[in-house]
Amino acid sequence: MDNLILHSISVVIPIYGGEKTISRLIAEISTLTKPQKTKNLNVSYVISEVILIHDCGPDGSAKVIEALCELYSFINPIWLTRNFGQHAATLAGMASAVGDWVVTIDEDGQQNPLDIQILLEEAISKSLQLVYARPINKPPHGWLRNCMSRIAKFLGAKMIGYHGLSKFNSFRLIEGEIARTLAAYCGYGIYLDVGLFWIADKVGDCGVILRPETKRVSGYTYIKLLLHFWNLTLTTGVRPLRLITSMGLLSIVISLSIFIYALYGKYYTSTPVQGWASLLIIVSFFSGSILTGLGIIAEYMAIGIGISMGRPLYVVKSKLTK
């Protein structure tokens, strides 16, 4: 039955530094804007629109977007008032998407638009609402960044208790209604993929091959990636707060152990116990635990205040400011 349905797809591309890459990517996507069928399951699909979100990057992407709009009728530009970040820009595009499915893809050309049909076949064959592209070749980044990525995913799965983190990827296929619903209700400070897992029940992934990385400076520095992971940690739930409770219980156990050791040394082994040394260690340990707990609680309060104050996730303007 799905073979008889023409599935319309909206492609959402946040643009930050795509001056040299976006034209080639759009040219590739343009070949998919006529009705066609997937290779394996013969599912009919068409890319009905491409939404380019200008996230106020440092290069001349705005002029390239304007030129592409004149060249291709299927492009729908969205101009943000300032740089709000990739996730906010992606949500801005998802809010405007009208297709049966929404595909999010990066601007740098590493992700092949032809792989969209692979994601669509996976979604149709397994009745999935959300499908992530899973790179099957070696990551193109340096060893340090790849190592940090693996550590972040491990911590996300074990410490945060969020096992779906291993599937997160910026190349995704989302059921249209879910994408638009999330874009309408997702507030400030919410990690996009965490929000998707809140409302999508059937989630899967399929393997794709990434193309070579283009020669350009990435907008994600190590500091930004660390902040990105920290935001993910805070928005996945209350696990970090529960970690504070665990640290408190562990602190009590340690303090009781030190107390028992001191009593045993004093009354049974005649071992001298230096009061000032043990006092300094205990005070330092508990002070650090308290400050760590207060810091994490303060981060949660900051997110809550940002949401309650109605701080906008993004703001769209009608035209580009020259």
Domain of 117, CATH number, reads 3.90.550.10
Counts for the chain of helices (H) and strands (E), in that order: 10, 9
Does residue 314 lie within any of the structural domains?
Answer: no
Does residue 316 lie within any of the structural domains?
Answer: no
Looking at the fold, whether 157 and 267 belong to one and the same domain comes out as no
Range of the structural domain that residue 54 is part of: 2-236
pLDDT, tens digit (0-9, with 9 covering 90-100), for 120-156: 999 999 999 999 999 888 766 666 666 766 666 666 6
Does residue 143 lie within any of the structural domains?
Answer: yes
Q: What pTM did the predictor assign?
A: 0.75
Looking at the fold, whether 146 and 225 belong to one and the same domain comes out as yes
Does residue 317 lie within any of the structural domains?
Answer: no
Looking at the fold, whether 244 and 168 belong to one and the same domain comes out as no
Looking at the fold, whether 146 and 270 belong to one and the same domain comes out as no
Last residue of a domain, one of 236, 251, 273: 236
Measured at the CA of 304, the angle between CA 298 and CA 305, to 5 degrees, comes to 85
Looking at the fold, whether 206 and 246 belong to one and the same domain comes out as no
Looking at the fold, whether 175 and 190 belong to one and the same domain comes out as yes
Total domains present in the chain:
2
For residue 67, what pLDDT band results from cuts at 50, 70 and 90?
very high
Last residue of a domain, one of 236, 268, 290: 236
For residue 197, what pLDDT band results from cuts at 50, 70 and 90?
confident
